[in-house]
Amino acid sequence: MEIMSIITFAVFIFLVFLLHSILKFFSIGIKKLPLPPGTLGWPYIGETFQLYSQNPNVFFASKVKKFGSIFKTHILGCPCVMISSPEAARLVLATKAHLFKPTFPASKMRMLGNQAIFFQQGDYHAKLRKLVLRAFMPESIRNMVSDIDSVAINTLGSWEGRQINTYQEMKTYTFNVALLSIFGKDEVLYREDLKRCYHILEKGYNSMPINLPGTLFHKAMKARKELAQILAKILSVRRQMKQNHTDLLGSFMGDKEGLTDQQIADNIIGAIFAARDTTASVLTWILKFLGENPSVLEAVTNEQDEIIRAKEENNEEKALNWADTKKMPMTSKVIQESLRVASILSFTFREAVEDVEFEGYLIPKGWKVLPLFRNIHHSPENFPEPEKFDPSRFEVSPKPNTFMPFGNGSHACPGNELAKLEILVLIHHLTTKYRWSMMGPRNGIQYGPFPLPQNGLPIKLSRKT
């Protein structure tokens, strides 16, 4: 028995040594891989100045031209690997997403809330995504069309006869739709307080994270605390009323879901933030592209006028319904092409959770990985004459993984159907009832942080006679 024990122990030691040698071999193999080509710039500063002192797309395009579809750089204090091929983007965001976690600066996580869906992975993220989709899937939002219709009519009416900053006014519209989708018709009770807090939060979102009295960041964190207090009141009132709600807050509050009040608050605050600026940016670009392309505007207007005529002939209610929004193929192509050309989400951040071998290169653990959506959307190989605004290119489906305006994989935007709906409704009323003219320069682009027409696209709106 003693001899057998010795032999068993010896075999065990041998196996441990063998396993260690194999792991060491593969570790050495990975570490011997070269880093992707590229430059890292100055210590700590890296190439941040080069990126933000010019059109960021020029920076990315010049790097791709020089180094190819995968290259390294150093921005915002982080070593990064940037990728611009559709296949590589899908691999990072979907196929091997477990190797690349979502990552955000710590200050932004504090501001929105550590428990928000953007910062999660695994089972908790899957649970949150299911709850968001339940509230924003077509079966749920189809009942919101008439309410969004009213918001759109009131919004456009408030612009009539005056010069406006399109982006700022679109932010108000998308904010009101976001509140409607999250709180239902209860949102009118809290709209002004929520709007005031969000205005302060927004000012501090991209500020230096210095939490001292008087700084924008400090004011933003105070507003964040007040937002949580407002949401606590809303939760308390809902629990007392004991009614079923089909909005996003109702989905999060389901007894079976077991979310804490802090988890609910973090995700509601994050949802409002995500639902507003990106959609407002897209709407601003759509107005610019339609204004610059009269034949496209005419085609969209004819399509929307036909919906009104059909409703009148059938003695239907004037307000738009879900079925009407499915009769807008030309308008839908305009939205797709606007999303492609503008590429509001130019890139997204991921972080390697371990050393990763990627297309023959090493991506070290902790390095950021950025799929470059805009470069993919503006590649001539994917879209001929990519700078040209041409909605007809979407008469056929794009090649796989070449059109990702809402991201890809399990972290793709779960609210994209709601965004499309509110855009369709506003375009319907805009094109059938109003005309507009763009004021000031038309060619400039500003970044803050999303690309926007210069000065937020000032326009003057007047009612058709």
Instruction: Identify any residues that bridge with 195 across adjacent strands, giving them in sequence order.
Output: none
Q: What percent of the chain has pLDDT over 70?
A: 92
Whether the CB-CB separation of 96 and 108 falls below 8 Å is answered with: no
The annotation status of 413 as a binding-site residue, yes or no, is: yes
Is the model's pLDDT at 88 over the cut of 80? Answer: yes
Is the model's pLDDT at 311 over the cut of 80? Answer: yes
226-277 pLDDT per residue, tens: 999 999 999 999 988 877 788 899 999 986 778 999 999 999 998 988 888 8
Q: What is the pLDDT of residue 89?
A: 93
Confidence of residue 2 (pLDDT cuts 50, 70, 90): very low
* Torsion-angle region of 453 (φ positive above 0: left; ψ -120 to 50: alpha; else: beta): beta
Q: Where do the DSSP E strands lie in 298-433?
A: 350-352, 356-358, 361-363, 368-371
Confidence of residue 3 (pLDDT cuts 50, 70, 90): very low
In the chain, the amino acid numbered 72 is: K
Confidence of residue 54 (pLDDT cuts 50, 70, 90): low
Q: What is the pLDDT of residue 53?
A: 67
CA neighbor of 303 nearest in space, from 391, 383, 385 = 391
| Alpha-helical segments (H) within 35-81 | 48-52, 56-67
H/E element, 100? strand 100-102
As a whole number, mean pLDDT of residues 441-445 equals: 78
Is the model's pLDDT at 59 over the cut of 70? Answer: yes
Confidence of residue 353 (pLDDT cuts 50, 70, 90): very high
CA neighbor of 100 nearest in space, from 376, 401, 375, 371 = 371
Instruction: Identify any residues that bridge with 78 across adjacent strands, giving them in sequence order.
Output: 75
Domains with residue ranges and CATH for the chain: 30-104+344-377 (3.30.43.20)
Strands 368-371 and 78-83, bridge-based pairing: parallel
Lowest mean pLDDT among 146-150, 359-363, 411-415: 411-415
SS3 assignment, position 39: coil
As a whole number, mean pLDDT of residues 318-324 equals: 93
Confidence of residue 168 (pLDDT cuts 50, 70, 90): very high
Q: What is the pLDDT of residue 170?
A: 96
Work out the mean pLDDT of the chain and round it to a whole number.
87
Calpha distance 165→456 (Å, rounded): 6
